[in-house]
Amino acid sequence: MNDEIIYNAEIDCVGLYCPMPIAMTKEEIDKLKIGEILKIEADDPAAEEDIKAWAKRTGHEIIKFEKQGTILTFFIKKMK
């Protein structure tokens, strides 16, 4: 079974630190239509909490979160 998520846009925040992953996520999600999915990769340990809190605050849904070594991968669905 293939559980790969089809996403509409992707940003690479690896090597960037707060507040860049959040700033880039916000900028990119603003370009998407409702229901579209943004993939974010980051390696800033703070990004896990930051992006989860940002999604909750802004009403977007994290449909998948993965951690592989130092790489954090988020799939966020634009909800509004």
- What per-residue confidence (pLDDT) applies to 44? 95
Q: Which of 9, 14, 16, 18 is catalytic?
A: 18
- Percent of the chain residues past pLDDT 70, beyond the cut: 96
Answer whether residue 2 shows pLDDT above 80. no
What is the reported pTM? 0.93
Kindly report the average pLDDT of the chain as a whole number: 95
Helices 45-58 and 20-29: crossing angle in degrees, nearest 10, is 40
Is residue 13 flagged as an active site residue? no
Distance of CA 34 to the CA centre of its chain: 15
- Residue ranges of domains in the chain: 9-77
Give domain 9-77's CATH superfamily: TusA-like domain (3.30.110.40)
Residue type, 50: D
